[in-house]
Amino acid sequence: MASVTARGWALCSVSLLNFAFVFISGADFIRFISFRAIYHNITGETTLCQDSIPWSVALQDRSVLGSLLVDLGLLALFTTQHSLLAWAPVKQALQSVLGALNRTVYCFTTALALQILMRYWQPVTDAPCLWSVRHAPWSIWFPLLCFTLHFLCWAIICSILMIFDYPELMGIKQVYYECLGLGDPMSHKSPRAQRLLSHLRHPVCLELGVVLWLLPCLSLDRLLLAGTLSTYLALAHSLDKQDLAYLCVQFNSKMQLLTEQHLGGADATDGNHKEK
């Protein structure tokens, strides 16, 4: 019994440490994707690119080509890790070895790949911008608009992750169910929910697309980042009509439940007023 308890505590410790690492990596990713790109325009800095350099010269510059090559390698590392560990044969092999920690390891390696990408990313500052908003009054208002929309998109992304069973996405619920002897939490979901979750690997494609592309200044390295991740998200997004119908049914049922609760609360308030 003591060995089982010790194993449970070990699994929980690993899962919670991984949660902290993934959470910090997510915050770093928000800073990397949104804050760095918008901050330069809000403060008036223009070091993200050099419009005075012609494209013909920039594309022959070894420093520019070298930075793009490094960035491309970092993107290849992230997409390979993210896809390889989600590939069914590899996923099944890891499940047989790791058990309840399979999802935890997947999240950890994803966060680690993101940390490597962010730490070693090479900005291309010796090339022109593809677009840049620098003329008043848009040089002030457009970066603020981008910041507002980025904030809203990240808020929506966090809300969607919470709705889609965040503890299970992070691997915490798998460990919790293992310690209680309940098996895989996915087995407790309906077949339609399992089908949806198997297809919906990236439920936040639209919001991430806005965050990747809506910027006051688009540099060459940002074009590479946004183009690669957008293509990857489009290829991984595989919802069909049955999934959409299931989502509509669930959404309508939850809205009906909220309406009934609101009406019930209003009726109770009216009853109290009548009694008084």
Buried b / exposed e across 196-230, counting CB within 10 Å, b at 16+? bbeebeebbbebbbebbebbbbbbbbbbbbbebbe
What single DSSP character describes residue 219? Answer: -
Q: How confident is the model at residue 30 (pLDDT cuts 50, 70, 90)?
A: very high
pLDDT of residue 194: 56
pLDDT of residue 212: 93
Give a yes or no: residue 168 inside a domain: yes
Give a yes or no: residue 267 inside a domain: no
First to last CA, the chain: 59
pLDDT of residue 150: 93
For residue 38, the enclosing domain spans: 2-189+205-238
Give a yes or no: residue 265 inside a domain: no
φ, ψ (nearest 5 deg) of residue 78: -65, -50
- Quick: pLDDT tens for 233-266: 887 665 555 555 555 666 666 667 767 766 665 5
Give a yes or no: residue 258 inside a domain: no
Q: Of 52-66, 68-82, 116-130, 201-215, give the lowest mean pLDDT range.
A: 201-215
pLDDT of residue 239: 52
pLDDT of residue 2: 47
- Quick: pLDDT tens for 196-215: 555 555 556 778 889 999 99
Pair 99, 181: CB distance under 8 Å: no
Q: Of 132-136, 148-152, 225-229, 232-236, give the lowest mean pLDDT range.
A: 132-136
Give a yes or no: residue 272 inside a domain: no
Q: How many separate domains does the chain show?
A: 1
Give a yes or no: residue 196 inside a domain: no
Give a yes or no: residue 244 inside a domain: no
pLDDT of residue 226: 94
Give a yes or no: residue 260 inside a domain: no
* Average pLDDT over the chain, rounded to an integer: 79
